[in-house]
Structure 1
Amino acid sequence: MSKPSRWPLTADGIRFITPHVLVKRLQNHALAKGLFVTAMGYYPTASGHAMERKGHPDHILIYCTAGSGFLTMAGKTTEINSGDIFYLPAGSQHSYQASKELPWTLYWLHFDGTLANDFCQHINIVERKFTIGVQPRVIRVFDGISHLRHSSHNLAEFIQGGHQVQALLSYIALLVQQRKPSAINTFDTENLRAMMQEHIHSKLDLDSLAEAAKLSKYHFSKKFKQVTGESPISYFINMKMQRACYLLDSTPRSVKHVASELGYHDTYYFSRLFKKNIGMAPAIYRKAKL
């Protein structure tokens, strides 16, 4: 059960709880039961704000955009600052409170659904807190979801709100992945992409890429795949195929000419690679675009 917040809601604050009857409808709707909003709020400069829970039925996501505060879970207290986001899984025991000296500004969201656990695992905030910075895109989504309080409990609007939450959680997961030191600080990914772009018209092997990253081929390939989800050579080939699409779309050059421009002197080999990556042969792709 939750203890009530000791912070009185100001005129600038927002607090909304989805009616129980509507939650039941969302739980039973094919397009909504994956993820739906159960409560939401926005607390600006929340002096005296504090909450303690021994457990709760839904998942909670809280985003600090200014000021600071403290989160306590499993006997460990963590300072929360502007740009930090923290996730509280369903059933967790926790407490949090605003700093007395510099009280935080918070967006908060309660959600549930059959996909809730999967999304929370996808975000993978191991310490329950992660710094994503003050992200205008994230704030816009929170603001958009908050408009549900004006929807007169319209089911369609709450279905759309649930899909907004899915997009928000997916984006946060991407930010978390991009900011993991083990994944992105090992080498300069932008420099590697630039190197691939410079060789888009020719060949580039794994040895050269690993040397540029100052890593062994094994460690380079492993780290590159952690960041992009693809092997370095597959990534490079995909860049070439995207360039081929551009040339087929924007120029009258023959397939043979396009293949040669991208460093493939065997047109049939190029066509096989193109079909594997794009899903159709180059000639069919061009006709489909006309």
Structure 2
Amino acid sequence: MANTGRTSQDGLSTSSRDLRINGESMGEFLPGEPQALPSRPEITDVVIQLFTHRSVTEPILVPAVVEPLLVLVLAGAATVEERALGGEWEAADVSTGDFFLTSSDEPYEMRWQTHGGDTFEVMHLYLGLPLIEQASRELSGQHAGPVRLRDVSGARDERVVFVMEQLRTELLLQRSPSALFARSLAQALAVHLVRSYLAESQPGRRVNALQAYKLRKVTDAMRAHLSDEFSLATLASLAELSEYHFSRLFKRATGLSPSQYFIRMRMVRARHLLLETRLSIIDIGLEVGYSSPSHFSQVFRREVGVTPSEFRGA
């Protein structure tokens, strides 16, 4: 949400702060589970998720994102606090209709306290980079430079609210959603973001990074097979690239090698299971691909900073 960073209060290693994710994976790093959504045809570069959040008093990791992520408060109110690495907490009181825009190159930490009830509801909208770049070319010409949007926390913009609500209605409530209409709405939103929320400084583009749709395809496959042995060949094949070029482009897109990213995803899942279930540590290790409890404990401690039993008992 805001351009902030994260401390190591949760025991995460410095390398974990290097993790850069695609926006639709954000749910893996937030407490609780996303709301179940009706099955709908996939629309390129447009992904919606809904979350119901309770108060979170302990700071949580919010990784950097590859593509812009919009978060709209649908119901309820909360005080949301964010801070940069080594910085001071900054608070924003948000309610229905407020939004956040995340385009940060750095992870950060956040926490929130709900008001007047136990929960507040938000909508996450992931916009693929091709939509933002198309909007930039349309507004500034074919030779427009790299696009960087600024981060926004708890702002109000009626056009953003209107388009996001229209997208939610079309994709989640219509019996026969129109991909054409939804993509047109997303394009209109991308134009508005480029017009209104460009960052003052535009850093260099991550040239030759793995395309967003390929990154999503690969990370979805990783997530579905966390208990399986890591296979660079399989992932490269999904991306329709050689292993060498896939590894290079994947790291440019995420900041991590494919194997490092896979391990991070395993540890995210393990942390969730340790906190949210009563499964034994042995069973959790098996679920995330470690048949040896000692190996699981060794990797977990290296990545998180404590052993699985210490993490569960903290």
TM-score greater than 0.5 by the shorter chain? no
Greater fraction of residues in helix: 1
**TM-score w.r.t. length of structure 1:** 0.41
**TM-score w.r.t. length of structure 2:** 0.38
